[in-house]
Structures are given as C-alpha cells and as structure tokens.
Amino acid sequence: MKLVKHIANLGYGSRKDVQWMFREGRITDAAGEVLYADDPLDHDNVRVDGEPLDLPPGLLLMLHKPIGYTCSMKDPGRIVFDLLPPRFRERNPALSTVGRLDRDTSGVLLFTDDGQLLHRIIAPKSKLPKVYLATLADDLRGNEAALFASGTLMLDNEKTPLLPAELEPLDARRARLVLHEGRYHQVRRMFAAIGHHVQALHRERIGGLTLGDLPEGQWRALDADDRDQLFAGESA
C-alpha cells in the first residue's frame, strides 16, 4: 500500500480514489504494464494515465508571478496557486510559498514542500540577497542610496533599524534595490519612509537565481543546478 499512499500524497486523490485508479488500470509502469497497489514503489517508473508522476517530496518550484495575484490560500480573489496544477494544492507535505510577494508586485516567487529548505532560504542569518526593480512616482533626489546603506533607517512600527541595502539608480524614476532581509512590504515601506511612492515593483532575483526566460504566469521545477545557483548568493 506504500504506492497508494505515495500517489495520494502527490495530490492525485484520496487513498480511496487512488485504489480505484489501480482497479481501473490507470496506473502503469513506463512500459505500459498495469501496476497493482502492493507493487514496490519506484517513483520514476510509475505512470498515471500514461503520464509520469509529479516530482516527489522535496519539491522546489519557481513562478514568474504576475501582478494581481496574492500569496494567501484564503484570499477570495486570484491567488498564485491558481497558476499551478490544481492537484498541487492537495500535496502532503503541503506546498507553500517561500516568503510572499504582494498583489501588486511581480517577479520571482518560490514554492517548496521542504520545511528545512524553506527555513534555509528565509532565515535571517542566510541573508540571501533579494533584488527588486522599483518604479517611483517622482524623480529620485540623489540621497536615497546613502539613506538605504546607512543601516539606521527605521520603518513605522518597527523596533530595529533595517540592515544596509544597496540602491542603484537606473534613470530618473527607476532604481534597483538589493535587500538582505525580508520584512512586511519592505521595499514600499522603505521608499515611503524617505518620501517616495512606489508605482511598480518587480523582484528580479533571489540569491543567484533569476527568472531567465520563464514567461509571466508560468512555473518550472528547479533542479540541483538551480539550487546551487540560488545559494550562490548566500552571505558567508
């Protein structure tokens, strides 16, 4: 029955549903031979309706998040999980976002079902750089980079100052900002603290990992090389 539990945990249905799938001959090996519920578990050799199984637990995904989607499963509007296969919501262990991007922010968003991996990415001591492209409502004044790099900037309702952040002006109203921590709506609040309003915000990179040519609204599973690239940006 390990095979039944494994397939159910991947979100294909309840254990009862999966048992019926076996009885209907929908679960086979790679050669098309019908499998039985008590057959040995060999993930890579199993097919459901002729298709390989989804990736096993330990999954890490990257989504090119569009504007207009939230990261909460409880939001009544459009959520980022709508952009993934429906059965991904039923996986056990559960798939969750690695941090969040607000509704009006686009860019790199990671998902995982690995609690230790999630902690490694978001833990304060990792200080993985997160790179954002911000478009402002008004022109840059020229003092923003020094203010963000000072390590003394305080946000409303916060008790500790922000870590130093690097700002690179790109033109009169656009800048690239590199953060080494993650606080609630941090980029927008940082600019607001020095008198700017962010009109558009896009996360370009986490660690050493960028979107590459991944289209907006699309996702892909990350392999070992991608993970190495992600943590290539990890602070010592």
CA distance 214 to 83: 13
**E strand or H helix at 20, and its extent?**
helix 15-23
CA distance 56 to 33: 21
Q: Is 205 helix (H, G, I), strand (E, B) or coil?
A: strand
> 77, 125, 69: which is closest to 97 by C-alpha?
69
Tokens representing residue 202 in the block = 């896009």
**Got the DSSP string for 175-192?**
EEEEESS--TTHHHHHHH
Is 104 catalytic? The answer is no
Which of the residues 102, 104, 114, 226 is marked catalytic?
A: 102
Amino acid 102 reads D
CB contact at 8 A, 11 and 94: no
What residues act catalytically? Answer: 102
